[in-house]
Chains A and B, each alone.
Chain A
Amino acid sequence: MPDLAIIVPSLLNGLTTGALYALIALGLTLIYGVLHIINFAHGALLMVGLYAVWFLNTRLGIDPYVALLIVPPAMFVLGYGLQRGIIGRASHGRDENILLVTLGLSIVIENLALYFFRSDTRIVDTPYSFETVEFLGAFLPLPKVIAFFGALISAAALWLVMSKTDLGRAIRAIARERKGAQLVGINADHVYAMSFGLGIACLGVAACLLLPSYYVTPSVGHGFVLIAFTIVVLGGMGSFVGALIGGLIIGVVEALGGLFLGESLGQIGIFVIFILVLMFRPQGLLGHKV
């Protein structure tokens, strides 16, 4: 049985990773909440964000954290354009079509990345990549601590947008009552695209926070999207607070799983949780019963 000196760092590590998972899941749950579909291109779009950060850093010398000023807005525009120009048009209003279109998009994006960047693993080299911060006797990588607070701040900003602005109210309104939304003059296509754009902008933030301590390959999104999907189910489909709490839980479960079961079996706990939630609380921690 490992002692506290090992468990505490592992727990803290899990929380830092979990906050990033939560940010990725927030984008997924936002899109699900409004469009009622799982965005299968979520992982591929995270990969696009990571390559954008990598490109800005290696080619233009822009620090990943400075890239926060560029990548999330660019990802927002990309998401808005994809929804308005491709997903919305090609789906003809049918949910199953949206699923297939996002799946198709993910295949196209990944193969384009393979063509342009090949399957090589790429990282960025920053002066702080190996810096650590001491907390409760544990030495935590500085980029992960920054990512933790960055993810929490982003989640809070998203919550503010959703609860305090007309756009946020319109997004929540149209998620449940499309006809009522149209009758108060809300442009459904615009709000759908804004939601998709915001969800993808979350991936842009996650990419900037992730890359200093991670890597990018064309298939890097697969693992993240599977975990994000588990978080969305655990927290409750469409629930923001649920996604945040779910992300932190999954991060901790993964870290402790790795500690007790070994790195190769570390993620098993995530999928055990996924199955248990589906069996005993299918609406998730904070979701509503259907």
Chain B
Amino acid sequence: MLEVRELKAGYGAVEVLRGVDLDISKGEIVALLGSNGVGKTTFAGVLSGLVPAWSGSIVFNGASIAGLGAQAVVDRGLIHVPEGRHIFPNLTVRENLELGAYRRGKGSRSQNIDHVATVFPRLRERFAQKAGTLSGGEQQMLAIGRGMMAEPELLILDEPSIGLSPLLVEEMFDLIAKLKAEGLTILLVEQNVLQSMEIADRAFVMENGHIRLSGKPSVLMDDPDLQRAYLGLA
């Protein structure tokens, strides 16, 4: 579904992505792991058309999307739920969801709102509430729900667990697993290695703008480098 080859990108003169290779097949959860500042969020931004690619290729469903703007990327069904949520705080929960279908999924908007409310029942109780008044966990659910409204072919979830209490983090990962069970393809960009590995089909570990390791979680978890760098094991 997604094939990224030798992708380079950055800001000004600073090169952040230094030749990233990554691929995702339909129906998978792929985790992109790495510590702060290694280029994960920049990578997500390049895929969704927010950050221009310097070179390399991005092929999504057989067509190149490198160089397309955010709108055109949304049109193709690649939906990015960004780090920091970026929901619309001055709009109600329902309005936020409605805007999720601004370009895709307009025809089935009401059914999709019902579906999102089934997946996140807490949002249904808050439909008329301004999104800015929601708790952090609810805002994260809304951000994902807004992404689901566009009927994504690939959903990029950037740090969905950041800033949540341990209990909510658990709940969030359960929800992501539930979305996968519904057939959604997900790129999970995370720092939370242990829990990401539990739900991912494959994982890529990024370091300094490169993919350092990749493979099945069961194999990667035995890698001594990963254990030392991310799990604090000697």
Identify the B interface with A (CB < 8 A): 48, 50, 70-71, 74-75, 79-82, 85-91, 95, 98-100, 102-104, 146, 150
Additional pairs, 17, CB under 8 Å, beyond known A172-B90, A184-B99: A166-B99, A169-B99, A173-B99, A176-B89, A177-B87, A177-B89, A179-B50, A180-B85, A180-B87, A180-B88, A183-B50, A183-B70, A183-B82, A184-B74, A185-B71, A185-B74, A187-B71
A179 to B80, CA, bound (A): 11
A169 to B87, CA, bound (A): 13
A186 to B80, CA, bound (A): 13
A177 to B90, CA, bound (A): 9
Q: Are A183 and B89 in contact (CB under 8 A)?
A: no
Q: Offer 16 A-B interface pairs, CB within 8 angstroms, sorted by A.
A: A169-B91, A169-B95, A172-B88, A172-B90, A173-B88, A175-B90, A176-B88, A176-B90, A179-B50, A179-B82, A180-B88, A181-B88, A183-B86, A184-B74, A185-B75, A185-B103
Q: Does A182 contact B (CB under 8 A)?
A: yes
Q: Does A170 contact B (CB under 8 A)?
A: yes
- Chain A residues in 8 Å Cβ range of B88: 172-173, 176-177, 180-181
Nearest B residue to A178 via CB reads: B86
CB proximity of A160 to chain B, nearest CB, Å: 14
Q: Are B82 and A185 in contact (CB under 8 A)?
A: no
A103 to B109, CA, bound (A): 43
A170 to B81, CA, bound (A): 17
Nearest B residue to A166 via CB reads: B102
- Chain B residues in 8 Å Cβ range of A183: 48, 50, 70, 74, 79-82, 86
Q: Are B91 and A172 in contact (CB under 8 A)?
A: yes
CB proximity of B120 to chain A, nearest CB, Å: 17
Nearest B residue to A187 via CB reads: B71
Q: A169-B98, A179-B50 are in contact. Are A185 and B150 (CB under 8 A)?
A: yes
Q: Which of A139-188 contact B (CB under 8 A)?
A: 166, 169-170, 172-173, 175-177, 179-187
A185 to B90, CA, bound (A): 18
A181 to B82, CA, bound (A): 11
- Chain A residues in 8 Å Cβ range of B75: 185
CB proximity of A93 to chain B, nearest CB, Å: 15
- Chain B residues in 8 Å Cβ range of A186: 71, 99, 102
Name which of B48, B75, B82, B91 has the most chain A CB atoms within 10 A of its CB: B91
Nearest A residue to B100 via CB reads: A184
CB proximity of B57 to chain A, nearest CB, Å: 22
- Chain A residues in 8 Å Cβ range of B146: 184
Number of interface residues of A (CB under 8 A): 17
A173 to B89, CA, bound (A): 8
Nearest B residue to A176 via CB reads: B90
Q: Which 9 A-B pairs have the closest CB atoms?
A: A180-B86, A185-B103, A185-B74, A173-B88, A182-B70, A185-B71, A184-B102, A176-B90, A179-B86
- Chain A residues in 8 Å Cβ range of B89: 176-177
A180 to B79, CA, bound (A): 11
Q: Which of A183-212 contact B (CB under 8 A)?
A: 183-187
Name which of A172, A176, A185, A187 has the most chain B CB atoms within 10 A of its CB: A185
1/0 per residue A72-98: CB within 8 Å of B? 000000000000000000000000000
A194 to B89, CA, bound (A): 21
- Chain B residues in 8 Å Cβ range of A172: 88, 90-91
Q: Are A185 and B87 in contact (CB under 8 A)?
A: no
Name which of B48, B95, B104 has the most chain A CB atoms within 10 A of its CB: B95
CB proximity of A289 to chain B, nearest CB, Å: 14
- Chain B residues in 8 Å Cβ range of A173: 88, 90-91, 99
- Chain A residues in 8 Å Cβ range of B80: 183
1/0 per residue A45-89: CB within 8 Å of B? 000000000000000000000000000000000000000000000
- Chain B residues in 8 Å Cβ range of A184: 74, 99-100, 102-103, 146, 150
CB proximity of A163 to chain B, nearest CB, Å: 9
- Chain A residues in 8 Å Cβ range of B103: 184-185
A175 to B90, CA, bound (A): 9
- Chain A residues in 8 Å Cβ range of B74: 183-185
CB proximity of A32 to chain B, nearest CB, Å: 14
- Chain A residues in 8 Å Cβ range of B91: 169, 172-173
A186 to B103, CA, bound (A): 8
CB proximity of A174 to chain B, nearest CB, Å: 9
- Chain B residues in 8 Å Cβ range of A180: 82, 85-88
A184 to B148, CA, bound (A): 11
- Chain B residues in 8 Å Cβ range of A181: 88, 99
- Chain A residues in 8 Å Cβ range of B85: 180
A183 to B83, CA, bound (A): 12
CB proximity of A177 to chain B, nearest CB, Å: 5
Name which of B95, B98, B102, B150 has the most chain A CB atoms within 10 A of its CB: B102
Q: Are B104 and A185 in contact (CB under 8 A)?
A: yes
